[in-house]
């Protein structure tokens, strides 16, 4: 059973002539234990997709099953509880409450769950130990470095043992060395069996992922399974928008680029998926 299952999910903003299509008929299944990286140009709908998966936002159309259960009919409070118990968020910035000590930030989801103070602090302390920041437990977020803040945010995301960790550009504000520390932590967490979904603009970071999604204009253009440790090659844009080619042509061109990449195995695996994905007409491109 998939942790995440989206069927024909769309998200529209505005109405009439001003309508923006942020997501268009997205199909996505994420299995337990995957580390999925999402890439794509700005405005392609990555954050929108994450917010819908994270139950912060609702899709305009389509079906969404989280842990096998449909979430469309959940009321706001039930959604809040589902966020608390099944989803761990790591944001790009303002990840922590500035007035709460590190340990209280980590323990906050437990507080909302109604756990007693002693137990909360103990669990939060264990979690801080896991991310290597136990000695900073009683600092305020303003006394931490950017990388430390993100590691605390990861500790908090983990505290309720969620089904999926959602990170929207977790290293977006960090320099390369802190960024590496944060990614190593995510890798560790992934190795312990957690499911991770991460948006990034840095192709380097796809090295940690087991699967990479490329989004363009509200759709998932490519979905590549890859081996962890290798960097996914950024697809060249023209290949998507080859003028009215047959399916074979497209397939070939995709295969060609794939062979170019160091990831031949992955290319084979993705081929069937790409067939479906590349069915899109270039009309949409014109529309934009």
Partner 1 sequence: MLFDNFNMALSSIRSSRLRSFLTLLGVIIGVVSVITSVSLGEGVKRQISDETNKFGSDVLTVRPGKALNKDQKGLVVGINVFGQASTTAALTESDLGVAEKTNNVEVIAPLNLVTGLPKYNDRSFNDAVIIGTSTGFPKILSQDIEFGRFFDSTESEKKVAVIGAGVAEQLFGENVPLSKSFNLRGHEFIVYGVFERFKNASISQGIDFNNAIFIPYSTAKSISGGTAQFYELLVKADSPNNIDKVSADLEKRIANNRAGQEDFTILRANDTQTLTSTVIDLITLMVGGIAIISMLVGGIGIMNIMLVSVTERTREIGLRKAIGATNGQIMSQFLIEATVLSIWGAGIGVIISGLLNLGIRIFTNLQPVIQWEVVVFACGVSIIIGIIFGLAPAVKAARKDPIDALRSGL
Ligand X SMILES: Nc1ncnc2c1ncn2[C@@H]1O[C@H](COP(=O)(O)OP(=O)(O)OP(=O)(O)O)[C@@H](O)[C@H]1O
48 binds ligand X (CB under 6 A): yes
44 binds, among Mg ion, ligand X, partner 1, none (CB under 5 to 8 A by kind): ligand X
3-class secondary-structure state, position 124: helix
Interatomic CA distance for residues 35 and 190, integer angstroms = 7
For partner 1, the binding residue among 25, 27, 67, 85 (CB under 8 A) is: 85
Q: How far is residue 106's CA from residue 89's CA, in Å, rounded to a whole number?
A: 12
The count of other CB atoms within 10 Å of the CB of residue 69 is 11
Closest approach, Cβ 91 to partner 1, in A, equals 8
Residue whose token pair is 């031949």: 264
DSSP structure class, residue 65:
E
CB 226 within 8 Å of CB 36: no
Residues 221/214, Cβ–Cβ less than 8 Å: yes
Q: Where does this chain touch Mg ion (CB under 5 A) — which range of 11-19, 43-51, 55-63, 173-181? A: 43-51
- Residue choice 91, 230, 253, 255 for contact with partner 1 (CB under 8 A): 91
Measured CA to CA in angstroms, residue 124 lies from 94, 115, 154 at distances of 19, 12, 12
Considering only residues 97, 192, 256, 260, which one is a binding residue for partner 1 as defined by CB under 8 A?
97
Q: How far is CA 160 from the centre of its chain?
A: 18
- What is the C-alpha separation between 217 and 256, in angstroms, rounded? 24
Of 61, 111, 192, 256, which one interacts with partner 1 (CB under 8 A)? 111
Per CB under 8 A, does 69 bind partner 1? no
Interface with partner 1 by CB under 8 A: which range of 82-90, 121-129, 142-150, 278-286? 82-90
Nearest one of 220, 223, 277 to 50, comparing CA atoms: 220
Least distance to ligand X from the beta carbon of 127, Å? Answer: 28
Residues paired with 38 in a beta bridge: 199, 213
Q: Which stretch binds partner 1 (CB under 8 A): 21-29, 80-88, 170-178, 228-236?
A: 80-88
Stretch of 39-47, 73-81, 149-157, 184-192 contacting Mg ion, by CB under 5 A: 39-47
Q: Which is nearer to partner 1, 77 or 246 (CB)?
A: 77
Residue 44 makes contact with ligand X by CB under 6 A: yes
CA–CA separation, 13 vs 28, rounded Å?
21
Question: Which one among 13, 63, 113, 238 touches partner 1, defined by CB under 8 A?
Answer: 113
User: What is the total count of residues that contact ligand X (CB under 6 A)?
Assistant: 12
Q: Rounded distance, CA 44 to CA 216, Å?
A: 5
Q: Which residues bind ligand X (CB under 6 A)?
A: 13-14, 20, 22, 40, 42-48
Chain residues that interact with partner 1, rule: CB under 8 A: 51, 54, 56-57, 76-77, 80-81, 83-85, 89, 91, 94-95, 97, 99-100, 104, 108-109, 111-114, 117, 156, 160
């Amino acid at each position: 059973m998939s942790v995440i299952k989206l069927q024909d999910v769309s998200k529209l903003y505005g109405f009439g002539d001003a309508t923006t299509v942020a997501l268009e008929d997205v199909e996505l299944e994420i299995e337990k234990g995957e580390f999925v990286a999402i890439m794509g140009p700005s405005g392609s709908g990555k954050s929108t997709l994450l917010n819908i998966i994270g139950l912060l936002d609702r899709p305009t159309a389509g079906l969404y099953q989280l842990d096998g259960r449909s979430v469309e009919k959940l009321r706001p409070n039930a959604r809040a509880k589902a966020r608390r118990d099944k989803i761990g968020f790591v944001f790009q910035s303002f990840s922590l409450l500035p007035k709460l000590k590190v340990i209280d930030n980590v323990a906050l989801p437990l507080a909302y769950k109604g756990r007693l103070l002693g137990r909360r602090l103990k669990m939060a302390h264990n979690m801080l130990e896991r991310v290597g920041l136990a000695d900073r437990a009683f600092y305020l977020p303003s006394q931490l470095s950017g990388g430390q803040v993100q590691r605390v945010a990861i500790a908090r995301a983990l505290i309720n043992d969620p089904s999926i960790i959602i990170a929207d550009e977790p290293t977006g504000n960090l320099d390369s060395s802190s960024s590496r520390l944060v990614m190593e932590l995510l890798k560790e967490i992934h190795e312990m069996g957690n499911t991770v979904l991460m948006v990034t603009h840095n192709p380097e970071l796809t090295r940690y992922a087991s699967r990479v999604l490329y989004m363009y204009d509200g759709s998932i253009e490519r979905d590549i399974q890859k081996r962890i440790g290798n960097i996914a090659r950024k697809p060249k844009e023209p290949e998507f928008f080859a003028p009215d080619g047959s399916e074979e042509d497209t397939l070939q061109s995709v295969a060609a680029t794939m062979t170019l990449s160091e990831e031949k195995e992955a290319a084979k695996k993705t081929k069937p998926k790409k067939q479906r994905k590349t069915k899109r007409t270039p009309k949409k491109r014109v529309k934009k």
